[in-house]
């Protein structure tokens, strides 16, 4: 027990033995303080969005009126929370970009077309459709001005990017390595 030793070391010389303070009393006090410290550590984990587990995320979702879906991966739930927090400001191109990037974990570009009342969210780093695109769409619908439409533009791996790659180049990699261009020829 950490706190038992701290308390014991704080007592003046002779007090520990001379006044009848024994190991049993120090054990009880030390355990109580250790338990309190453990609870403080758990609370710190749950209060920080970056480290919160299901319990902490449920509190955030409750505070932000987000339906809890325990079947979603924790990182996707965090993205929804971050998107909702970021979305509570004046809607600008930068805000839309920030919200979209919180869901995608990559770079996006927001392209405005004022004549057509449309803006496009173009995914730069992510190949294919991001796994939580429906959450992103819901968040964007919630924050965007009602008179604007939104379109999503995805990037895919095309044949011209991989046609010169041989089996030898990729046999130790995965499709995800190829999609994210981690296999360099």
Q: Give the tens place of pLDDT for each residue, 35-50.
A: 999 999 999 999 888 8
Instruction: Answer yes or no: is pLDDT of 118 > 60.
Output: yes
112 and 119 Cβ atoms separated by less than 8 Å: yes
Residues 20 and 98 grouped into a single domain: no
Q: Give the model's confidence band at 156: pLDDT under 50 very low, under 70 low, under 90 confident, else very high.
A: confident
168 and 114 Cβ atoms separated by less than 8 Å: no
Q: How far apart are CA 60 and CA 85, in angstroms?
A: 10
What single DSSP character describes residue 12? Answer: P
Handedness of CA 7, 8, 12, 15 (dihedral sign): positive
For 62-114, the pLDDT digits (tens) are: 988 889 998 999 988 998 888 888 767 678 899 899 889 888 778 999 999 88
Please give the distance of CA 185 from its chain centroid, rounded to a whole number.
Answer: 33
Two tokens at 5?
A: 């030793």
Q: Is residue 54 part of a domain?
A: no
101 and 124 Cβ atoms separated by less than 8 Å: no
- Residue 146, helix vs strand vs coil: coil
Handedness of CA 53, 62, 79, 101 (dihedral sign): negative
Q: Is residue 153 part of a domain?
A: yes
Q: How far apart are CA 167 and CA 170, in angstroms?
A: 5
Termini Cα distance of the chain: 56
Please give the distance of CA 73 from its chain centroid, rounded to a whole number.
Answer: 10
Q: Is residue 66 part of a domain?
A: no
Q: How far apart are CA 183 and CA 180, in angstroms?
A: 8
Residues 175 and 101 grouped into a single domain: yes
Q: Which of 9, 28, 47 is the last residue of a domain?
A: 47
Mention every residue, 6+ apart, whose C-beta is less than 8 A from residue 55: 46
Tell me how many domains the chain contains. 2
Q: Is residue 53 part of a domain?
A: no
Domain that holds residue 163: 93-180
């Amino acid at each position: 027990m950490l706190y038992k030793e701290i308390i014991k070391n704080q007592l003046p010389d002779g007090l520990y033995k001379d006044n009848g303070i024994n190991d049993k009393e120090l054990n009880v006090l030390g355990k109580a303080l250790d338990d309190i410290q453990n609870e403080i550590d758990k609370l710190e984990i749950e209060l920080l969005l970056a480290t919160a587990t299901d319990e902490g995320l449920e509190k955030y979702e409750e505070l932000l009126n987000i339906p809890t879906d325990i079947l979603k991966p924790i990182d996707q739930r965090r993205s929804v929370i971050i998107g909702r927090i970021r979305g509570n400001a004046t809607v600008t191109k930068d805000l839309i970009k920030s919200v979209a990037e919180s869901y995608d974990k990559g770079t996006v570009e927001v392209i405005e077309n004022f004549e057509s009342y449309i803006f496009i969210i173009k995914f730069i780093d992510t190949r294919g459709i991001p796994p939580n695109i429906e959450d992103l769409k819901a968040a964007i619908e919630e924050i965007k001005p009602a008179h604007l439409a939104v379109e999503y533009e995805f990037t895919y791996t095309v044949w011209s990017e991989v046609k010169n790659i041989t089996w030898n180049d990729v046999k130790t990699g995965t499709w995800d390595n190829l999609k994210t261009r981690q296999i360099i020829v």
